[in-house]
């Protein structure tokens, strides 16, 4: 991927879409075999791939800017959903109960997501560049090391995100929190390993002179 403003905007767009979509999907719990996970697991891991790609190509400050943009968008989403919930219902509408049940629960989910998001994404950007900088200082280049900071940053930040989000979003609901945390983290570990190839593909063009 070329380091252009258009591509940066594209990555930020994918990041925000995945982030906001995951907030809505988190209200639904799904069973994957014996694992119980929020449906957001299909969308949220994409955000870590996006910040890793942005950080690799555009640097730490740009990745942090994306994280801040995501927070602003989540706050705006929370406000807009809250306003929609308090608007008067049309007399002939018969779907308000379902609407409130889904989006009303999303307010708690979004609030939990925002806390988990700030902690995990801030950690992700920090540890990504900490490992990357240490590797470059030791080896003189990024050659052969991109998989290391990509995987370690994503795997550790996903653990933080999962534990904080599940606890804040589902405590007191009767859900088995340890099972949900472990289940979601196992699924996210698969995602983290699977995003290595996309990470290389998206960052390889500008790094084509280096061994991978």
Residue 164's contacts (CB-CB under 8 Å, 6 or more residues apart) are 112, 115, 116, 119, 120
The average confidence (pLDDT) of the chain is 86
Q: What is the pLDDT of residue 186?
A: 87
3 state SS of 60: helix
Compute the average pLDDT of residues 139-150. Answer: 90
Confidence tier at 129 by pLDDT (50, 70, 90): very high
pLDDT of 208 strictly over 60: no
Those residues whose C-beta lies under 8 Å from the C-beta of residue 66, and which sit 6 or more positions away, are 11, 12, 15, 50, 51, 54
User: For 10-45, how does the pLDDT look when each residue is reduced to its tens digit (9 = 90+)?
Assistant: 999 999 999 998 888 877 778 777 777 778 888 888
Q: What is the pLDDT, as a whole number, of residue 172?
A: 83
Confidence band of 105 (pLDDT split at 50, 70, 90): low
In this predicted structure, the answer to whether residue 212 has a pLDDT above a threshold of 50 is no
Query: Predicted confidence band at 207 (pLDDT cuts at 50, 70, 90)?
Result: very low
DSSP conformation letters of 141-197:
S-TTTHHHHHHHHHHHHHHHHHHHHHHHHHTTTT--HHHHHHHHHHHHHHHHHHTHH
Give the pLDDT mean for 106-121: 83
Segments making up each domain of the chain, as ranges:
5-207
Which of 29, 61, 48 shows the shortest CA–CA distance to 116? Answer: 48
Express as a percent the part of the chain with pLDDT over 70: 94
């Amino acid at each position: 991927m070329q380091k252009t403003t258009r591509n940066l905007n594209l990555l930020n767009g994918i990041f925000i879409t995945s982030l906001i979509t995951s907030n809505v999907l988190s209200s639904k719990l799904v069973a994957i075999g014996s694992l119980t996970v929020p449906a957001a697991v299909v969308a949220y891991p994409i955000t870590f791939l996006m910040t890793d790609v942005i950080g690799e190509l555009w640097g730490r400050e740009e990745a942090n800017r994306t994280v801040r943009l995501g927070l602003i968008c989540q706050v705006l989403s929370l406000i807009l959903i809250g306003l929609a919930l308090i608007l008067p219902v049309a007399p002939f509408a018969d779907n308000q109960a379902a609407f409130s049940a889904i989006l009303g629960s999303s307010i708690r989910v979004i609030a939990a997501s925002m806390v988990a998001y700030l902690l995990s994404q801030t950690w992700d950007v920090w540890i990504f560049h900490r490992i990357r900088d240490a590797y470059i200082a030791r080896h003189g280049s990024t050659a052969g090391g991109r998989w290391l900071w990509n995987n370690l940053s994503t795997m550790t930040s996903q653990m933080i995100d999962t534990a904080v989000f599940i606890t804040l979003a589902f405590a007191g609901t009767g859900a088995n929190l340890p099972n949900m945390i472990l289940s979601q983290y196992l699924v996210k570990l698969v995602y983290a390993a699977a995003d290595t190839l996309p990470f290389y593909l998206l960052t390889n063009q500008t790094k084509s002179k280096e061994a991978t």
